[in-house]
Amino acid sequence: MSRPLVPGLITEGGTDELFLGPVIARQLRALLDDAPRPVDLMEVERGACRMIKDDDRIRQAILDLAPNCHLIFLHSDYRERDKAVRHADQDVIPLIPVKETEAWLLADAQVWTRVRGADLSRLPARPREAERISDPKAVLRAVLAGVNHRKVDEHFATAGNNVDLSMLAELPAYAAWVEATSKALRNHGFL
């Protein structure tokens, strides 16, 4: 008999949600490959509140997700880092890039080879360099400047579904999140 796992996600914005939702689901599936018994990974539930709101509203969003979710991931970029950390506990895991989520979208050049008109020369030479970029949003816009059939944010879900997780694992902040997630899965008896 399998056991369900429902993840929850509260982000700073819609584009972060488009990318991180698929990445969370894919990473959880990869981690659960080592589960001692079958786990049914359910769809990532999204919080109604954004991390840029005040602490009371974030706390309420967590409480709203908690009855349905085993783990809740709180995403914030570096400017709001303290907010996510303040709400962390064994069921609530911060998901914080070094700078911005857009850096994670730049880690795997293969994602962008499929996008006609993308300027691959703007991408970092190695995945680990993505978190060293001072303005990842500007670099992502430059990569996609020649792509005229979509807005930049329309590529977030595609990237989330296709980014190589092993490339993301080279990013220190991503690796730290995976370790925290693994620990939470062990604490809840999934691993």
The parent domain of residue 68 ranges over 3-187
pLDDT digits (tens, 9 = 90+) for 81-100: 888 899 999 999 999 999 89
Q: Write out the two tokens for 29.
A: 């599936």
Is 90 exceeded by the pLDDT of residue 155? no
Over residues 99-113, mean pLDDT: 94
Backbone angles phi, psi at 132, to 5 degrees: -95, -5
pTM of the complete model: 0.93
Q: Are 6 and 185 in contact (CB under 8 A)?
A: no
pLDDT of 135: 95
Please count the structural domains in the chain.
1
For strand 7-10 and strand 45-46, is the pairing parallel, antiparallel, or unpaired?
parallel
pLDDT of 24: 98
pLDDT of 3: 93
Could you tell me the sign of the dihedral formed by the alpha carbons of 38, 44, 49, 52, in that order?
positive
